Amino acid sequence: MTITLIKNGTVVSPSGRVASDVLVDGETVAAVGAPGFFASAEATADKVIDAAGKYVIPGGIDVHTHMELPFGGTNASDTFETGTIAAAWGGVTTIVDFAVQTTGANVIEGLAEWHAKAEGNCAIDYGFHQILGGIDDESLKALRYLTENEGVTSFKLFMAYPGVFYSDDGQILRAMQTAGDVGATIMMHAENGIAIDVLVQQALARGETDPVNHAWTRPAALEGEATHRAIVLSAVAGNVPLYIVHLSASQALDHVAEARNAGRNVFAETCPQYLYMTVEETLAKPDFEGAKWVCSPPIRSAHDDHPHHADLWKGLRTNDLAIVSTDHCPFCFKDQKELGRGDFSKIPNGMGGVEHRMELLYQGVATGEITLERWVETCCTTPARMFGMYPKKGIVAPGADADIVVWDPNTKTEIGYGEGKKHHMNIDHSSWEGYVIDGKVDTVLSRGMVVIEDDTFTGRKGHGQFVKRGLSQYLV
């Protein structure tokens, strides 16, 4: 067994920061002790990492990625290999990706397909949620089976994308009732896709074909409406755990906050793009460049009648937003985003970001939006607890997997694709070009194996293991 000592650092958890040394035995944390406590072990340790002046945090957990997702006539450009290596560079040691059942297909076969894509190819650990693109007796039976036997305990439904993944209200209610029976979580893409499709057709008929129209035809009010409807349906189903994914708008957050204030099992995540970006600086760029930022829900406008960014940061502080994920769903500009030249509705939806979440959220610490502890909580610990992986994941504590990031707060990260700063995701551009962030990933351990050190990837594909997950640990 390899013994690793991480000394002189400050260990950070949601409950505080403590100067501590961490002893790793093989794949797990053996002990956390006062500085110098493991001095006698230092001479015999296989590796000593000096974390003086640095933070020692649990490995990041990104619970919303789409490696290799077929979408809009193409496939998301990161494979499980390229995407998990990029994740490791960004201080992420576990992803939870979405296995897909398209409408009419078999759920169990969809999950098997995702296992086949990921197995032997991941550099870090991974789990799966299951997308249900069709609700019928067979898929509801599969929901039970996956929850009880396969470690897949969360199911994403779509109120958007009619004809692709869409479920109507009756189907959603049935899925929620079944989820309630077995304790599974329903994850909801909450946008009113039926109304959006009308707005899209009307815009195209007026000749409004540029990428910016993606944002104008998906107004925040229709995210708020769908979020409210999902919350009501989950109440009717019996306070079934509901997790709103990629929440972008103040109106949606208000409904989540109202439900949470009423004590409901309602949770939500947001993503960095919704905390930082505006339509005007992204989708509105000329010459089709705005296509790089087409994702759903869309990035919101600076001129909306709601201060979305400020509200989302506040939601992170108040825990109405529990988690920050990326919704990593990358498409290259060339040949992929370009599919939508002349018709914005044909631009594949999604952006890449799995490599940048930890640093983009740390910037919120640097600017005083959230505390250091809340950064760890929203990016590492809560994702583990929300999706049944804690305390194996999400904490630096004895017995936990040694998924650890040494974070250097004294240097900067320059994000981009241009000369000298090429990211590691398989995308031909960066949505975050030019962002300069305080702090930097220094060293990353994945189950005890050093995978990032001295600006070098030292891991290997195939190291990552499938994580069988339990139920959400937030339910009462």
**Chain contacts with ligand URP (rule: CB under 6 A):** 66, 189, 246, 295-296, 327, 329, 349-350
Q: What sign has the CA pseudo-torsion 451, 59, 184, 72?
A: negative
Q: What sign has the CA pseudo-torsion 8, 357, 306, 261?
A: negative
Residue 328 binding target from ligand URP, Zn ion, none, CB below 5 to 8 Å by type: none
- CB count within 10 Å of CB 20 equals 21
Beta carbon nearer to ligand URP, 189 or 292:
189
Q: Could you give the CA distance from residue 29 to residue 6 in angstroms, rounded to a whole number? A: 11
* Nearest distance from C-beta of residue 266 to ligand URP, angstroms: 19
Beta carbon nearer to Zn ion, 7 or 189:
189
Residue 447 binding target from ligand URP, Zn ion, none, CB below 5 to 8 Å by type: none
Beta carbon nearer to ligand URP, 66 or 308:
66
Residue numbers 326-355 binding Zn ion by CB under 5 A: 327
* Nearest distance from C-beta of residue 467 to Zn ion, angstroms: 19
Q: What percent of the residues of the chain are helix, what percent strand, and what percent coil, each to the nearest 5?
A: 30, 25, 45
Residue 179 binding target from ligand URP, Zn ion, none, CB below 5 to 8 Å by type: none
Residue 142 binding target from Zn ion, ligand URP, none, CB below 5 to 8 Å by type: none
* Nearest distance from C-beta of residue 349 to ligand URP, angstroms: 3
* Nearest distance from C-beta of residue 273 to Zn ion, angstroms: 12
| Cα 226 from chain centre | 21
* Nearest distance from C-beta of residue 190 to ligand URP, angstroms: 10
114 membership: H or E segment, kind and range? helix 107-118
Residue span binding Zn ion (CB under 5 A) among the ranges 299-307, 319-327, 358-366, 395-403 = 319-327
| DSSP summary character for residue 292 | G
How many residues contact Zn ion, by CB under 5 A?
A: 2
Which amino acid belongs to residue 247? L
Beta carbon nearer to ligand URP, 344 or 362:
344
Q: Could you give the CA distance from residue 67 to residue 135 in angstroms, rounded to a whole number? A: 24
Phi and psi at 401, nearest 5°, equal: -55, 140
Beta carbon nearer to Zn ion, 282 or 443:
282
In this structure, the strands spanning 92-101 and 60-65 are parallel
- Prior bond to 409 cis, omega within 30? no
Per-residue burial over 459-470, b if 16 or more Cβ lie within 10 Å, else e, is bebebbbbbebe
- CB count within 10 Å of CB 472 equals 19
* Nearest distance from C-beta of residue 262 to Zn ion, angstroms: 25
- DSSP result, 94-160: EEEEEEEE-TTS-HHHHHHHHHHHHTTT-SSEEEEEEEES--SHHHHHHHHHIIIIIS--EEEEESS
Beta carbon nearer to ligand URP, 218 or 393:
218
Q: Could you give the CA distance from residue 406 to residue 453 in angstroms, rounded to a whole number? A: 10
Beta carbon nearer to ligand URP, 83 or 448:
83
Residue span binding Zn ion (CB under 5 A) among the ranges 178-186, 214-222, 249-257, 321-329 = 321-329
Beta carbon nearer to ligand URP, 54 or 156:
156
Residue 472 binding target from Zn ion, ligand URP, none, CB below 5 to 8 Å by type: none
Beta carbon nearer to ligand URP, 246 or 429:
246
Report yes or no: 286 and 312 within 8 Å, Cβ to Cβ.
no
* Nearest distance from C-beta of residue 352 to ligand URP, angstroms: 11
Which amino acid belongs to residue 318? T
Q: Could you give the CA distance from residue 324 to residue 446 in angstroms, rounded to a whole number? A: 20
* Nearest distance from C-beta of residue 407 to Zn ion, angstroms: 26
- By beta carbon distance, the residue nearest ligand URP is 349
Beta carbon nearer to Zn ion, 225 or 327:
327
Three-class DSSP labels, 424-439: CCCCCCCCCCCCEEEE
Residue span binding Zn ion (CB under 5 A) among the ranges 249-257, 260-268, 324-332, 395-403 = 324-332
* Nearest distance from C-beta of residue 395 to ligand URP, angstroms: 28
Q: Could you give the CA distance from residue 290 to residue 94 in angstroms, rounded to a whole number? A: 30
* Nearest distance from C-beta of residue 393 to ligand URP, angstroms: 22
Q: Give me the residues paired with residue 408 across strands.
A: 440
Residue 350 binding target from ligand URP, Zn ion, none, CB below 5 to 8 Å by type: ligand URP
* Nearest distance from C-beta of residue 331 to ligand URP, angstroms: 9
Beta carbon nearer to Zn ion, 160 or 358:
160
Report yes or no: 184 and 140 within 8 Å, Cβ to Cβ.
no
Taking residues 168 to 197 in sequence order and writing x for each that binds Zn ion by CB under 5 A, - otherwise, the string is ---------------------x--------
- CB count within 10 Å of CB 418 equals 11
In this structure, the strands spanning 266-270 and 3-13 are unpaired
Which residues make up the interface to Zn ion (CB under 5 A)? 189, 327
